[in-house]
Amino acid sequence: MDKPASSQRGFTLIELVIALTIAGILLAIAVPTFQALQANATVTSEVNHVVHYLHLARSEAIKQGQNSVLCASADGERCNQSTEWQHGFIVFADLNKNRQHDSDEPLLAHHQPNEARITILSSTSEYGRKTIVYLPSGMGSGSTATMEFCDPAKIGAAKAVILSNTGRPRVAEKRPDGSKISCG
């Protein structure tokens, strides 16, 4: 048997408006936090990829007794000769030591980041690192290098990978001199 209409319960318009207002406030608080979390995760993920490939290049140089190179590469075949690494990078055995990937040299790895979600810049001084070379001893060839990882929307925290002359990478929240990472 149906209940009389007066005993059926539902939401009043005021209750519905209050519930939607509370949901809107919670959403307004959660969305920026989620965006920052997502930006930080993207930066951290790309930092981990670069550190992984630096370790790969170093270990292959030692294992093969040949120079190995990590360089910026948009097409996955040739070095860009750029200090911008967000378009991709490759690792290869540099048999003729010219710091360029030639057709007879083994390509060890290729990575293609989501460039719309991150910028990766290497040292931008006059000696900006366009290639990172590891010698058969595992030592780095050349000066130290810093790669800065930034969220283009500047929502997330910036990070840096600092490569010492010994070839060891480390992750930092600041530049080697202690200054803030500029991100452009």
Average pLDDT over residues 94-121: 88
The domain limits of the chain are: 12-172
For the cut 70, the answer to whether the pLDDT of residue 148 exceeds it is: yes
For the cut 60, the answer to whether the pLDDT of residue 125 exceeds it is: no
For the cut 80, the answer to whether the pLDDT of residue 114 exceeds it is: no
pLDDT of residue 113: 82
Q: Which helix (H) or strand (E) holds 139?
A: none
Please answer whether residues 57 and 70 qualify as being in contact, where contact means their C-beta atoms are separated by less than 8 angstroms: yes
Average pLDDT over residues 142-164: 87
Q: How does DSSP assign 71-110, residue by residue?
A: EE-SSSSS----SB-TT-EEEEE-TTSSSS--TTSPEEEE
Express each pLDDT in 56-104 by its tens digit. 999 999 999 999 999 999 898 999 888 888 899 999 999 999 999 999 9
pLDDT of residue 27: 86
Question: Residue 49 class from Cβ within 10 Å (0-12 exposed, 13-18 middle, 19+ buried)?
Answer: middle
Determine the topology of domain 12-172 in CATH. Answer: minor pseudopilin epsh fold (3.55.40)
Would you say the pTM of this structure is higher than 0.75?
A: yes
pLDDT level of residue 184 (50, 70, 90 thresholds): low
Count of alpha carbons within 13 Å of 25, Cβ hemisphere only?
6
Token pair in block for residue 120: 């990766």
